[in-house]
Structure 1
Amino acid sequence: MKRKLSILVSILVLAVSFSACGKKEEVATQDNAYYEQVSDIMLTQLLPSITEEQIEQLENIEEFAFNSQLYQSQLPLTPTSYVESAKGWLAAKEECGEFLGHGDYTFENSTDKMVVSTQGEFENRDAKISFTFNGNGTLESTTVSPSYAIGEILEKAGLNTILGLGTVFAVLIFIAFIISLMKYIPKLQAAFSGKKEKQIETTTEAVAAPVAPVVSASTGTDEKELIAVISAAIAADTGMNTSDFVVRSIRRRPSNRW
């Protein structure tokens, strides 16, 4: 909590150098000197000393307290514009290196915006720094655009082209590979359908096989019973013993008469 307060106090200290410009309600009537002073405070005091840890602490401060401190400091900032400007500055430092200085300011005034720009000098490469103010004179955003040599621009363009073409060809090769596999689909379908037909035939044969013996056994049993009945009838009629004769065949006469 002490660190958070120390950051806000450091913002309040800047009010001393900024108090000559008046309150925020009078910002819209200020000339280029006002915008130059705000940009210079951001560029020489606030942004170069900001760290990632401080940004995290600022993001955790309650918005009401943050707004209150910014209002008391009379700096034309909002919590969002300040934090986003700080994040953009740190990202630019990773690519351009440490900030060394800047040139003269240029002003682009429109009906509802004022853009203050200057050429920043960094350790690795120069960059254009722009501060955009709204119609009320409040800082909306800060952009840092690194300057690249023609060779670097062509190199990046070439890499992007190679990456794009490589992605396209990789997708086309993959699609061609998928299409080449389609010729195996009919073979797979035929193989699976053949297996199903064999399974059906095997099942039918397995079920039909036991039926024949059952019918045959049943027919033989009925014929033996009929022979026994006829033999008993003959023995009763003739007075003979069933062991004295053998019934070898039974045939039905065409007529219903006996």
Structure 2
Amino acid sequence: MKLNLKRAVVGLTMAVCLFSLSACGAASKQSEGIDADMKAQLEQIPVASYLELYTGLEDKDTEQMRKSLTKKDEVAALAEGIDSWNNVKGDLGSFVSASDSVKLEESKDGYSATVNTVFEKRNMDFTVTFDHKLSKITGVAFVPEYNIAEKMEKAGFNTLMGMGTVFVVLIFISMLIGCFRYISIFEEKLLNKKNVAEIKVAVEAEPVFIQPLAEEDELKDDLELAAVITAAIAASEGVSPSGLVVRSIKRAATGNWKKA
């Protein structure tokens, strides 16, 4: 299979080169249509053989064929047509035959050759485009012929998909707009929750305790004060200070001094 692929690519390349050499002089002529010499050269191009390159291509050899065609600039456009062929081959079925007549057209980009082909399920127009010198293939096109019912079905499906997509987007936007009020409520709740938390933190701050003054302060370690009080008591009682022992000193209530 690999050898056949290589032969097919080489054959196609040689065919394009031969036609390019014979068309160099005629490509510069300007006319309203295709002149006779150019038309004769285009009619000699085996358009159907390019189609056989796709119809005989198996899925397992697709990538190998793509790489082989891409390496040669003259037929690189055929590699780009592989994806288009894979998209339409399911609607065509098996290849049956190709018409001998070729429709030729000229455009600002070059020339195109179209051949009508017959497949198991439907017919198809296969088009190959060339540059003005016929030295390079610039593109391929596969145009299956669908009946009115199939066209209406495809049109209806495309319309349904387009309208369905629009309605889904509109519904999503409506739901998004409707959620804006809940977003504001959610933000307000978050703000209130933050304020409550700040107040709670302020309330739960560590309190400052003031140590109350003791009503009765015992001055056990104040020796000078104890000596003075002992001397005063001894003088008032007429006894010796050595016989007196001060065990504790307590502050008297202010009301007692006023009564004295």
TM bucket (normalised to shorter chain) is 0.5 to 0.7
Q: Which residue of 2 aligns with 1:51?
A: 58
Query: Are residue 32 (structure 1) and residue 32 (structure 2) matched?
Result: no
SS at match of 1:130: strand
Q: Is the 8 A contact 2:219 2:248 kept in 1?
A: no
Equivalent-residue separation in structure 2 for 1:31 and 1:25 (angstroms): 12
Q: Which range is displaced more, 237-246 or 30-39?
A: 237-246
Q: Which residue of 2 aligns with 1:136?
A: 133
Equivalent-residue separation in structure 2 for 1:15 and 1:228 (angstroms): 122
Query: Are residue 164 (structure 1) and residue 158 (structure 2) matched?
Result: no
SS at match of 1:207: coil
Q: Is the 8 A contact 2:111 2:132 kept in 1?
A: yes
Distance 1:175 1:36, change over 3 A: same
Q: Is the 8 A contact 2:114 2:126 kept in 1?
A: yes
- Superposed CA deviations along residues 154-200 of structure 1, whole A, max 9, x for unmatched, are 22222222222222222222222223233233443343334334433
Equivalent-residue separation in structure 1 for 2:60 and 2:202 (angstroms): 80
Paired residue total: 231
AA partner of residue 129 (structure 2): T
Equivalent-residue separation in structure 1 for 2:151 and 2:138 (angstroms): 29
Query: Are residue 185 (structure 1) and residue 183 (structure 2) matched?
Result: yes
Q: Is the 8 A contact 2:77 2:138 kept in 1?
A: yes
Q: Which residue of 2 aligns with 1:72?
A: none
Q: Is the 8 A contact 1:231 1:247 kept in 2?
A: no
Query: Are residue 224 (structure 1) and residue 217 (structure 2) matched?
Result: yes
Q: List alignment gaps of at least 5 residues for structure 1.
A: 68-76, 252-258
Equivalent-residue separation in structure 2 for 1:32 and 1:176 (angstroms): 61
Percent identity between the two aligned chains: 23
Q: Is the 8 A contact 2:125 2:142 kept in 1?
A: yes
- The structure whose residues are more often helix, as a share, is 1
Q: Which residue of 2 aligns with 1:97?
A: 93
Match of 1:247 among 243, 248, 251: 251
Q: List alignment gaps of at least 5 residues for structure 2.
A: 27-36, 235-244, 256-260
Match of 2:232 among 219, 234, 238: 238
RMSD (Å) for aligned C-alpha atoms = 4.0
Equivalent-residue separation in structure 2 for 1:91 and 1:206 (angstroms): 73
SS at match of 2:214: helix
Q: Which residue of 2 aligns with 1:123?
A: 120
Equivalent-residue separation in structure 2 for 1:194 and 1:147 (angstroms): 69
Equivalent-residue separation in structure 2 for 1:45 and 1:247 (angstroms): 125
TM-score, normalization by structure 2: 0.67
- Superposed CA deviations along residues 66-93 of structure 1, whole A, max 9, x for unmatched, are 65xxxxxxxxx82413333455444432
Q: Which range is displaced more, 156-165 or 44-53?
A: 44-53
AA partner of residue 43 (structure 2): E
- Superposed CA deviations along residues 45-84 of structure 1, whole A, max 9, x for unmatched, are 5443233344422344497xx65xxxxxxxxx82413333
AA partner of residue 126 (structure 1): N
TM-score, normalization by structure 1: 0.68
